[in-house]
Amino acid sequence: MMRRKDSELSLESTCEILESNNYAVVSLIDAEGMPYGVALDYIYKEGCLYFHGAKEGRKADAMKKNPRACAVILGETKVIPNRFGREYVSAVAEGPITLIDEPEQKRKVMQWVVEHNSLDYLEKGYAVVEKLLERVLIYKMEIEKLSGKHGL
Protein backbone atom coordinates (compact mmCIF):
# COMPACT_ATOMS: atom_id res chain seq x y z
CA MET A 1 0.00 0.00 0.00
CA MET A 2 1.38 3.39 -1.01
CA ARG A 3 1.83 5.90 1.79
CA ARG A 4 1.33 9.02 -0.34
CA LYS A 5 -1.87 8.56 -2.29
CA ASP A 6 -1.32 11.87 -4.11
CA SER A 7 1.74 10.30 -5.80
CA GLU A 8 -0.02 7.09 -6.85
CA LEU A 9 -0.57 6.38 -10.54
CA SER A 10 -3.56 4.58 -11.99
CA LEU A 11 -3.14 0.98 -13.10
CA GLU A 12 -3.43 2.13 -16.73
CA SER A 13 -0.64 4.71 -16.31
CA THR A 14 1.53 2.18 -14.48
CA CYS A 15 1.12 -0.36 -17.30
CA GLU A 16 2.12 2.36 -19.77
CA ILE A 17 5.42 2.70 -17.88
CA LEU A 18 6.02 -1.03 -18.29
CA GLU A 19 5.15 -0.86 -21.99
CA SER A 20 7.25 2.20 -22.79
CA ASN A 21 10.50 1.27 -21.04
CA ASN A 22 13.08 -1.45 -21.54
CA TYR A 23 15.08 -1.82 -18.34
CA ALA A 24 14.34 -2.83 -14.78
CA VAL A 25 16.38 -3.32 -11.65
CA VAL A 26 15.37 -6.73 -10.36
CA SER A 27 15.88 -7.35 -6.66
CA LEU A 28 16.43 -10.91 -5.49
CA ILE A 29 17.79 -12.83 -2.54
CA ASP A 30 20.79 -14.82 -3.72
CA ALA A 31 21.56 -18.46 -2.92
CA GLU A 32 23.56 -17.37 0.16
CA GLY A 33 20.68 -15.27 1.49
CA MET A 34 22.21 -11.92 0.49
CA PRO A 35 20.33 -9.13 -1.29
CA TYR A 36 21.13 -8.90 -4.98
CA GLY A 37 19.96 -6.30 -7.47
CA VAL A 38 20.61 -6.63 -11.18
CA ALA A 39 19.69 -4.39 -14.11
CA LEU A 40 17.99 -6.34 -16.89
CA ASP A 41 16.22 -5.53 -20.12
CA TYR A 42 12.72 -6.91 -20.31
CA ILE A 43 9.68 -7.44 -22.46
CA TYR A 44 6.21 -6.81 -21.02
CA LYS A 45 3.68 -9.21 -22.55
CA GLU A 46 0.52 -10.93 -21.40
CA GLY A 47 0.67 -9.25 -17.98
CA CYS A 48 4.15 -10.62 -17.24
CA LEU A 49 7.71 -9.36 -17.37
CA TYR A 50 10.09 -11.53 -19.37
CA PHE A 51 13.84 -11.33 -18.85
CA HIS A 52 16.55 -13.48 -20.38
CA GLY A 53 20.08 -14.43 -19.49
CA ALA A 54 22.54 -17.20 -18.86
CA LYS A 55 21.49 -20.56 -17.48
CA GLU A 56 24.14 -20.38 -14.77
CA GLY A 57 25.45 -17.71 -12.45
CA ARG A 58 24.41 -15.71 -9.43
CA LYS A 59 21.17 -14.43 -10.97
CA ALA A 60 19.94 -17.85 -12.11
CA ASP A 61 21.01 -19.44 -8.81
CA ALA A 62 19.11 -16.77 -6.87
CA MET A 63 15.95 -17.32 -8.89
CA LYS A 64 16.16 -21.09 -8.44
CA LYS A 65 16.53 -20.85 -4.67
CA ASN A 66 14.24 -17.87 -3.99
CA PRO A 67 11.86 -17.36 -6.91
CA ARG A 68 10.16 -14.22 -5.58
CA ALA A 69 11.37 -10.91 -6.99
CA CYS A 70 10.72 -7.21 -7.21
CA ALA A 71 11.34 -5.21 -10.40
CA VAL A 72 11.66 -1.42 -10.39
CA ILE A 73 11.18 0.41 -13.68
CA LEU A 74 12.07 4.08 -13.73
CA GLY A 75 10.57 6.15 -16.52
CA GLU A 76 11.58 9.66 -17.52
CA THR A 77 13.14 11.80 -14.83
CA LYS A 78 13.93 15.48 -14.71
CA VAL A 79 15.47 17.51 -11.89
CA ILE A 80 13.53 20.70 -11.12
CA PRO A 81 16.16 22.88 -9.36
CA ASN A 82 13.86 25.69 -8.21
CA ARG A 83 11.48 23.17 -6.61
CA PHE A 84 14.28 21.11 -5.00
CA GLY A 85 12.82 17.95 -6.43
CA ARG A 86 12.31 15.99 -9.59
CA GLU A 87 9.64 14.92 -11.98
CA TYR A 88 9.56 11.17 -12.48
CA VAL A 89 7.38 8.16 -13.00
CA SER A 90 8.15 4.69 -11.73
CA ALA A 91 6.58 1.27 -11.47
CA VAL A 92 7.22 -1.53 -9.00
CA ALA A 93 6.22 -5.07 -9.93
CA GLU A 94 6.35 -7.97 -7.49
CA GLY A 95 5.81 -11.66 -8.03
CA PRO A 96 7.26 -15.11 -8.54
CA ILE A 97 9.75 -15.89 -11.28
CA THR A 98 9.50 -19.07 -13.29
CA LEU A 99 12.58 -20.26 -15.16
CA ILE A 100 11.77 -21.38 -18.69
CA ASP A 101 14.15 -23.68 -20.56
CA GLU A 102 11.68 -25.23 -23.04
CA PRO A 103 12.92 -24.40 -26.59
CA GLU A 104 9.60 -23.33 -28.15
CA GLN A 105 8.70 -21.03 -25.25
CA LYS A 106 12.22 -19.56 -25.26
CA ARG A 107 12.04 -19.02 -29.02
CA LYS A 108 8.72 -17.18 -28.70
CA VAL A 109 10.00 -14.83 -26.00
CA MET A 110 13.32 -14.20 -27.72
CA GLN A 111 11.45 -13.42 -30.96
CA TRP A 112 9.43 -10.85 -28.98
CA VAL A 113 12.74 -9.31 -27.91
CA VAL A 114 13.91 -9.08 -31.52
CA GLU A 115 10.56 -7.64 -32.66
CA HIS A 116 10.65 -5.06 -29.86
CA ASN A 117 14.29 -4.00 -30.19
CA SER A 118 15.33 -4.72 -33.77
CA LEU A 119 12.27 -4.38 -35.97
CA ASP A 120 14.36 -3.47 -39.03
CA TYR A 121 16.51 -6.61 -38.65
CA LEU A 122 14.00 -9.39 -38.05
CA GLU A 123 15.57 -12.04 -40.29
CA LYS A 124 19.03 -11.55 -38.82
CA GLY A 125 17.59 -11.31 -35.31
CA TYR A 126 15.68 -14.56 -35.65
CA ALA A 127 18.89 -16.26 -36.83
CA VAL A 128 20.70 -14.96 -33.73
CA VAL A 129 17.87 -16.33 -31.57
CA GLU A 130 18.39 -19.79 -33.07
CA LYS A 131 22.12 -19.66 -32.33
CA LEU A 132 21.59 -18.58 -28.71
CA LEU A 133 18.55 -20.69 -27.92
CA GLU A 134 20.43 -23.52 -26.23
CA ARG A 135 22.45 -21.16 -24.01
CA VAL A 136 19.70 -18.78 -22.89
CA LEU A 137 17.21 -19.10 -20.06
CA ILE A 138 13.98 -17.11 -19.84
CA TYR A 139 12.92 -15.62 -16.51
CA LYS A 140 9.16 -15.02 -16.43
CA MET A 141 7.80 -12.81 -13.66
CA GLU A 142 4.08 -13.16 -13.03
CA ILE A 143 3.03 -9.79 -11.69
CA GLU A 144 1.01 -10.29 -8.51
CA LYS A 145 1.39 -6.75 -7.24
CA LEU A 146 1.91 -3.62 -9.33
CA SER A 147 2.12 0.00 -8.28
CA GLY A 148 3.08 3.22 -9.97
CA LYS A 149 4.22 6.54 -8.60
CA HIS A 150 5.00 10.03 -9.85
CA GLY A 151 6.89 12.94 -8.38
CA LEU A 152 6.15 16.66 -8.58
> For the chain, what is the mean pLDDT?
93
Whole domain around residue 11: which residue ranges?
5-151
Higher per-residue confidence, 84 vs 36? 36
pLDDT attached to residue 2: 56
pLDDT for 28 beyond 60: yes
- pTM across the whole model: 0.90
For the domain that residue 143 is a member of, what is the CATH number? 2.30.110.10
pLDDT for 6 beyond 70: no
Higher per-residue confidence, 1 vs 123? 123
Q: Which residues of 23-54 are buried (b: 16+ CB within 10 A; e: fewer)?
A: ebebbbbbeeeeebebebebbbeeebbbbbbe
pLDDT in tens, 103-124: 999 999 999 999 999 999 999 9
CA distance 15 to 142: 14
Number of domains in the chain: 1
